[in-house]
Structure 1
Amino acid sequence: MPGPLTAAPRTLLRRTSARLHGATAVLSLCAALVVAPAAAAESRTDGTPPVVSAGQVMPHLHALQQIADRNGGNRAHGTPGYRDSVAYVKAALDKAGFQTSLHKFTYNGTEGYNLIADWPGGDADHILFAGAHLDSVEEGPGMNDNGSGSTALLATALEVSKAGLKPDRHLRFAWWGAEEQGLKGSEAYLRDLPAAERARIDLYLNVDMAGTKDNKVWYVVDDNAAAAKAFKDYFAARKLRTEEIGVGGSDHESFGNVGIPTGGFATEINECLHEACDRIEQIDPETETTSTNAFISTVWQLAARS
């Protein structure tokens, strides 16, 4: 995560380091994990969100860990580990029927990439935008910060495809680069996005650190009432504690800074934040799956409102 979300000790945080070449091994991993777009006859139009299991979510985190292991132990801006992370997610989305593109930017003399994925359909004048940062710091693989959020986001997108969802709002997903450097990827995207296009974004939802082991609270962004209520209601129905946080300290800050309403959540911070020990072993599959299903449920709910 990038800098503090609140003045309190529970903070979210900042980023550092990206590059892009999809290795054959990365692409073959995708083939086993991704479902093709559902046929029209299977389209989910009743507004009922799907529920995923740990078996559907955790393989993506294991894939990101393997990418880091093959590339010097990290997935940071300007590194092969980040490039291969982007290639992995992009291949999954392409197979699932998303319209993907790479938004390129330069930071600290190095080319960076944001991966943007649009789900066909929905009202293009009313966009529900969901995102997470994909990069880690140079010190480690970043499995909780933020492989966990990137995985929750990818699992959500794949469920949209599997269901053949026909949302009222247009759905856009993004995996940000160089956020550990100080939100550089999301800032660059919004800087390059014309004002008229920004005005079409109704709401941005963020997920940062979704799988903290021994997590006891979910921190919910309180900027947008509908998003905050959707997340808090989901956790409350499962007797899980939430606390509200403001706009700041993670990818949603860039959107808030240009006047776009934001929502999202994060789990607690642990001692492996921005360290080499932020590995797959630090992820609790139950927490990660709960977070993923909370994100899916909220996207389903808010996509149906125009």
Structure 2
Amino acid sequence: MKLSVPGRVTGAAVIAVAALLTTSAIADAAPARAAAAPDIPVANVKAHLTQLQSIATANGGNRAHGRAGYKASLDYVKAKLDAAGFTTTIQQFTASSRVGYNLIADWPGGDANQVVMAGSHLDSVTSGAGINDNGSGSAALLEAALTVSRTQYQPTKHLRFAWWGAEELGMVGSRNYVNGLTTANRAKISGYLNFDMIGSPNPGYFVYDDDPAIEKTLKDFYAGIGVATEIETEGDGRSDHAPFKSAGIPVGGVFTGASSTKSAAQAAKWGGTAGQSFDRCYHSSCDTTSNINDTALNRNSDALAYAVWELSD
């Protein structure tokens, strides 16, 4: 459309018109992003953790593979996702003579040939409720998925979320999933994000360095909120990103530390207690809802959403 300027033109009018044309040209050249990453309400994430704790308490104190507490946890997550409009699939497998399950949730739409996937393991060890390990990642992932639905986010790429079974037995569920993919379907996964232990009570802020693009995305988030990060090494090969990485799929994620000890330098950087484990209740009965650092959980839930939104847009 041609822009006409009637009559006598003042200097101010010329400047205004030039500004309008410049703004229009920029808008045409660089369309706005589909959507900014949302803030994930930590209260909602904690509400999911309370439910997972209640499930464990009602089922022998744990949510372990092959036990009633795990299946009840899976049913809780699935019901939320089904109500939110996800297409959910349960994958069954056997490990240690017990039946296990993965839960896969696809958000309708997006390019099916470019899949951004985010996952966390839903099982605990038999000795406790597993609220940090890994209720924290599972609850944040669930709330991020529910936020996709609430905001009716329509990314360019296809979004897929996963809750894995039997991670504590050696990433059995995620390995089963990856091994079951055809070569073509593996190639469609442009990246896998893993979230395992993101609310440790004496937290560090660790970023996986397996893929440069995903690593940069997560580091950019933390830089934006003024939090220093370190490269994650404690969990290398010990969580559900490992089977994806072995299959040649780009992987990334965040982690707040497990049984390793926080150094004096790390305590100076992040706060907390030097000379103490990042999670003193790792794989123990005290891994309950009181074993969560709310600040870490909040920051990492937002980091999760930021990465999902940035990488799928």
What is the TM-score when the length of structure 1 is the normalising length? 0.83
Structure-2 residue corresponding to 1:261: 250
Structure-1 residue corresponding to 2:24: none
Q: Which amino acid aligns with 2:254?
A: F
1:204 Cα shift? 0.3
1:221 aligns with 2:208: yes
1:60 aligns with 2:48: yes
Percentage identity across paired residues of the two chains: 48
**Any idea what the Cα deviations from partners look like across 1:75-94, whole Å, max 9, x if unmatched?**
00000000000000000000
Q: Distance in 1 between matches of 2:68 and 2:76?
A: 12
Structure 2 unpaired stretches of 5+: 1-31, 259-278
1:52 Cα shift? 2.3
Structure-1 residue corresponding to 2:136: 148
Structure-2 residue corresponding to 1:297: 306
SS in 2 for 1:140: coil
**Any idea what the Cα deviations from partners look like across 1:220-268, whole Å, max 9, x if unmatched?**
1111112111111111222222111365221101100111110101112
Contact 1:45–1:166 under 8 Å retained in 2: no
Contact 1:45–1:165 under 8 Å retained in 2: no
Q: Distance in 1 between matches of 2:55 and 2:146?
A: 20
Structure-1 residue corresponding to 2:239: 250
Q: How does 1:14-163 map onto structure 2 within 5 Å?
A: 46-163=34-151
SS in 2 for 1:125: strand
1:46 Cα shift? 3.2
- How many residues align? The count is 260
Contact 1:255–1:262 under 8 Å retained in 2: yes
1:209 aligns with 2:218: no
1:286 aligns with 2:295: yes
1:45 Cα shift? 6.6
Distance 1:99 1:80, change over 3 A: same
Structure 1 unpaired stretches of 5+: 1-43
Q: Which amino acid aligns with 2:293?
A: D
Q: Distance in 1 between matches of 2:173 and 2:150?
A: 29
Q: Distance in 2 between matches of 1:223 and 1:52?
A: 25
What is the TM-score when the length of structure 2 is the normalising length? 0.81
**RCO comparison, higher one (Cα < 8 Å, 6+):** 1
**Any idea what the Cα deviations from partners look like across 1:114-145, whole Å, max 9, x if unmatched?**
00000000000110010000000001000000
Structure 1 or 2, whichever has the larger Rg, is: 2
Q: Distance in 2 between matches of 1:218 and 1:249?
A: 17
**Larger fraction in helix:** 2
